[in-house]
Structure 1
Amino acid sequence: MSTPKARDAGEDGAGGVDDAVRALLLLMPRMVGRAKKIPVPEALQSLSLAPRHLSLLSYLLFDGPMTVNELAARLQVAPTTVSLLVGDLSRKGILERREDEADRRRRIIGIAAHQQRAITAWLAPGASAWRKALAPLTPDQRQMFIDTLLAYEAAVSGEEQT
């Protein structure tokens, strides 16, 4: 990281990259801390759900039931990884698998009806907060925000493009 004197060229110090980095270094831990404080509903507390389950459950909650391959594509992981997650969550009674009427060889994965309310209660506060934060932005601004977070994730994980 650069020293406080190293500002963006041509800027008066306000709004430089380093100022934004400072703000984000303070903001990100607070955001993560607040997200972690969203209580897991009592009905789900004993099920040992991990962060890796959240994305899968979010897709099923917001987009409805889908196949393992569809989930894998959205989560950007291998279908075998999704199969393992689905198996784990099915054994815990969180997910249900049913036959696809169009192709009986395929299984459609969905949130178990008796867990729908608890999962909605758990994930809704985060979704609501994102809607409130993103609503004032234009579609291009929202995409830039998402692209920026993806670039940050890639840089932190060492996967950034050179």
Structure 2
Amino acid sequence: MAVNEIAIEGAAGGDPLEQLGFLLARHGAVANSRVQRAFGSCGLAPRAGATLMLLGGCGSMGQQGLVAALEVDPSIMVAILNDLESAQLVERRRDPADRRRHIVAITDQGRGVLAEARAAVDEVERGLFGDLSPEEVAALRGLLARVRTSPGDEVCSEG
């Protein structure tokens, strides 16, 4: 048995529901539910909200770049963008340098919805992490970045 395996097993203290996997699953499910409600309060599905947040940070990017950054299937991205475009939150246009490429840009209306979504998600994070210091939040972020999962894992690729 490796040293890490001993440390992980010993941390549970014998209570199987205190194992890290169960704790992460429970807290992750609560966080996911709260974030979904936060996006929903702004009229956004979670993936649409994530797409808007990404575009809000960079202004515009290629449709394939969005697929890669959000690690979703291209057909799913088309559906997300169709919904966002129908709501006039983003616009797609052909790249003048390469007519096969679509550039996606957030609209002024999209920026307004994005501001609401960011405020709602910030409120969720304050509720979840309000008892942690900024240093503890940074440490948690660093530790979670090292947990061995990938976007290709089954749960991450579900609709």
- The normalised TM-score by structure 2 is 0.61
Question: Can you give the 5+ residue segments of structure 2 that lack an aligned partner in the other structure?
Answer: none
Q: Are 1:16 and 2:12 an aligned pair?
A: yes
Match of 2:28 in 1: 28
CA deviations over 1:102-130 (Å, ceiling 9, x no partner): 44553321122123112221134435738
Give the RMSD, CA atoms, in angstroms.
4.2
Aligned residues: 145
Question: Can you give the 5+ residue segments of structure 1 that lack an aligned partner in the other structure?
Answer: 1-7
Preserved contact between residue 69 and residue 79 of structure 1 (Cα < 8 Å): yes
Match of 1:83 in 2: 78
- The normalised TM-score by structure 1 is 0.60
Match of 1:92 in 2: 87
Change (3 A) 1:134 1:69: farther
C-alpha distance in structure 2 between counterparts of 1:134 and 1:110, whole Å:
36
Preserved contact between residue 61 and residue 120 of structure 1 (Cα < 8 Å): no
Match of 1:62 in 2: 57
Change (3 A) 1:109 1:127: farther
C-alpha distance in structure 2 between counterparts of 1:82 and 1:63, whole Å:
17
Preserved contact between residue 92 and residue 103 of structure 2 (Cα < 8 Å): yes
Change (3 A) 1:153 1:137: farther
Letter in 2 for 1:75: L
Preserved contact between residue 134 and residue 142 of structure 1 (Cα < 8 Å): no
Change (3 A) 1:95 1:20: same
Instruction: For residue 58 of structure 1, report the CA deviation from its aligned partner.
Output: 2.2
Q: Higher helix proportion, which one?
A: 2
C-alpha distance in structure 1 between counterparts of 2:38 and 2:114, whole Å:
12
Match of 2:67 in 1: 72
Instruction: For residue 86 of structure 1, report the CA deviation from its aligned partner.
Output: 1.6
Instruction: For residue 31 of structure 1, report the CA deviation from its aligned partner.
Output: 2.4
Q: Which has the higher contact order (CA 8 A, sep 6+)?
A: 2
Partner SS, residue 81 of structure 1: helix
> Whose radius of gyration is greater, 1 or 2?
1
